[in-house]
Amino acid sequence: MNTSLDLRMTYGTGATDSTIFRQYITFAPTNGSSILSSIDMFNTPVNTTTQTSFAAIRLGTLGSEEAGAWKDLYAKTKLVKVVMKYYPAVTMGVNSVSQAVAGDVAPVSNQLAQSAIMYTIPIYENVDDIVYPSGQVKTNAGKGSLEDNLNKPYAKAHSIYKPWTRIMKPTNFMAYPTYGGQTINRKSAGFIDLSNVDVTLNGIYIAAPPLTVGGLIPTANPVQSAYPGTGESFVLGRLQITYYQKFKMRE
């Protein structure tokens, strides 16, 4: 199974220019694929009162038109591997030209820094560092939270201007009710029933600091120094996701 989506940085509600753009993507081996035009990384901060942020994107690994047929034919499934490939939309710094203002300095042209990067962190353990059992993204949009996440041994940094590939063998985290109305999440690496829709939390966390210009920014007539700005989106590139999945026949 395959899916292909744009990867965008989108300025979120209540955000500031210094916050991190991020998104958590989960893979649901018992769900049909949803129709999305892009995967957006937001810099929306975590709500300090409700401790919630935007919900993780959940990608079903079965074709939306064929999910019913798969479930009629097979009883169990196992998501063996996910291959995610990134193809950049731009391969060098992007020009930013300021407008001339009467009596001010001449227009200045800058480029986004060549060191512009994003980070990918497949989540195999310590899921609650990134996401709540409800699927809400938990980690804060501050740079401190990003630094903590980068301590994970499987965190990697990528230039936004170059292709990259990540191969994951995700573990399913299945939700089970417990005493007192609470929920625990048990890891399962084996086959699961296709009728189970509570398989969640396995996936990959993608984060990127705001893009900045390289070189000197003039103070008399400054150009935009962080991208994207309020209400804007910036297309980083294209994500091609391939799912390798096993099935067991219905008896």
**Cβ pair 205, 130 in contact under 8 A:** yes
pLDDT at 84: 94
Number of CB atoms found within 10 A of residue 118's CB = 23
pLDDT at 92: 79
pLDDT at 98: 58
pLDDT at 60: 86
Per residue, what are the HEC states of the chain? CEEEEEEEEECCCCCCCCCCEEEEEEEEEEEECCCCCEEEEECCCCCCCCCCCCECEEEEEECCCCHHHHHHHEEEEEEEEEEEEEEECCCCCCEEECCCCCCCCCCCEEEECCCCEEEEEEECCCHHHCECCCCEECCCCCHHHHHHHCCCCCCEEEECCCCEEEEECCCEEEEEECHHHCEEEEEECCCEECCCCCEECCEEEEEECCEEEECCCCCCCCCCCEECCCCCEEEEEEEEEEEEEEEEECC
Number of CB atoms found within 10 A of residue 122's CB = 19
For the chain, domain boundaries: 2-249
**Radius of gyration for the alpha carbons in the chain, expressed in angstroms and rounded:** 21
Which pTM does this prediction carry? 0.82
pLDDT at 167: 92
2-249 is a CATH 2.60.40 domain: no
pLDDT at 7: 94
pLDDT at 185: 63
pLDDT tens, N- to C-terminus, the chain (251 residues): 788 899 999 887 777 767 888 888 888 888 878 778 889 998 887 665 555 566 778 888 888 778 888 888 888 888 889 999 999 998 877 666 555 556 555 555 666 776 688 889 887 655 666 776 666 677 777 777 777 778 878 889 999 999 999 998 877 766 666 656 666 666 666 788 888 766 666 788 899 888 877 766 666 655 566 778 788 888 999 999 999 989 888 76
